[in-house]
């Protein structure tokens, strides 16, 4: 694995149901993400935060949808920035921001992977599959649409054109425990690999993760990890607006990150849905930094006792 990385903030909250995610990148910096990685021997370049210009409102036949123009603008900015970051930097880390940002980051990374002649694989750690189209979302919260968009589902004419779609069969979702009927239908039809929390309870995290990593390796794929705070149990990670009980434990999450590190296959990372307004003395931001450290090579014997 390369020893240099970049961090790029995407203070986007227009896809979420409540404000606060725009403070996510600042919270991760305050929690010491850059220093944590530097202490592990990585060369870290902070590329700052992205922004968009004020937008003129866009309407949609689905009246529930809100902030469509802003979300479209963010996708355009993020797709371009993600492509540039993947091209120019060894390991880009995108700090959110709500999960609608993945519509942009994955679109840009898929374009980059295609230019390298390699398939892009996605490990989606989330309580939700985020597989709504603009027609099926009932909440109108566009953080529920990125996977449908970047896999090339129809109905996204108001989103930016997608240059390279991700093959749904190259996606593995873990930790899923809140699925709407329209999303369930799309999962069955698309071939996305889904391991919900019942499956993880039955098998543990390692068998499905190792099997997926073998597929990535066999295909010489590039692997993007998209990590939503609500993948974690809210008892250990309260700083998210979409809490769902029964999430991953502290050790399950670290084991996943340590195993990913051992594989040497991960090439980029999203950290999304961190809402510092809902946090408790920064504990979720610190946990996300610690989990990222496990992905970047920290081991149990490297950890110091922490007083919260």
Positions marked catalytic: 99, 126, 128, 130, 143, 228, 230, 273
The distance between the two most distant Cα atoms of the chain, rounded to a whole number of Å, is 55
Give the DSSP per-residue string, 151-195. Answer: TT-S--TTSPPPSSPPPGGGEEEEEE----HHHHHHHHHHT-EEE
Q: Give the span between the Cα atoms of 50 and 65, in whole angstroms.
A: 23
Which phi and psi angles does 122 have, rounded to 5°? -125, 125
CA torsion sign for 111, 112, 116, 119 is negative
148: helix, strand or coil = helix
Q: Which among 220, 232, 222 has a CA at the least distance from the CA of 269?
A: 222
Any idea what DSSP says for residue 18? S
């Amino acid at each position: 694995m390369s020893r240099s990385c970049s961090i790029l903030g995407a203070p986007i909250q227009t896809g979420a149901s409540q404000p606060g995610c725009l403070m996510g990148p600042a919270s991760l910096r305050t929690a010491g993400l850059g220093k944590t990685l530097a202490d592990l021997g990585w060369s870290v370049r902070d590329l700052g935060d992205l922004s968009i210009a004020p937008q003129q409102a866009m309407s949609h036949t689905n009246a529930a949808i809100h902030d469509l123009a802003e979300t479209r603008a963010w996708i355009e900015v993020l797709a371009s920035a993600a492509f540039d970051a993947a091209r120019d930097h060894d390991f880009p880390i995108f700090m959110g921001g709500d999960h609608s940002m993945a519509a942009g980051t994955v679109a840009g990374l898929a374009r980059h992977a295609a230019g390298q002649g390699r398939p892009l694989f996605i490990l989606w750690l989330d309580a939700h599959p985020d597989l709504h189209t603009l027609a099926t979302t009932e909440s109108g919260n566009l953080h529920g649409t990125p996977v449908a968009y970047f896999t090339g589902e129809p109905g996204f004419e108001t989103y930016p054109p997608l240059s390279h779609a991700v093959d749904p069969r190259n996606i593995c979702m873990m930790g899923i425990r809140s699925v709407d009927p329209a999303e369930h239908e799309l999962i069955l039809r698309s071939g996305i690999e889904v391991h919900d929390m019942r499956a993880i309870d039955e098998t543990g995290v390692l068998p499905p993760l190792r099997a997926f990593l073998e597929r990535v390796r066999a295909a010489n794929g590039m692997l993007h990890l998209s990590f939503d705070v609500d993948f974690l149990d809210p008892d250990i990670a309260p700083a998210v607006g979409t809490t769902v009980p029964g999430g991953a434990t502290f050790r399950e999450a670290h084991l996943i990150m340590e195993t990913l590190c051992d594989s040497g296959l991960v090439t980029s990372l999203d950290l999304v849905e961190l809402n510092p307004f809902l946090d408790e003395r920064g504990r979720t931001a610190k946990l996300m930094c610690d989990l990222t450290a496990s992905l970047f090579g920290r081991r149990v014997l490297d950890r110091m006792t922490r007083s919260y």
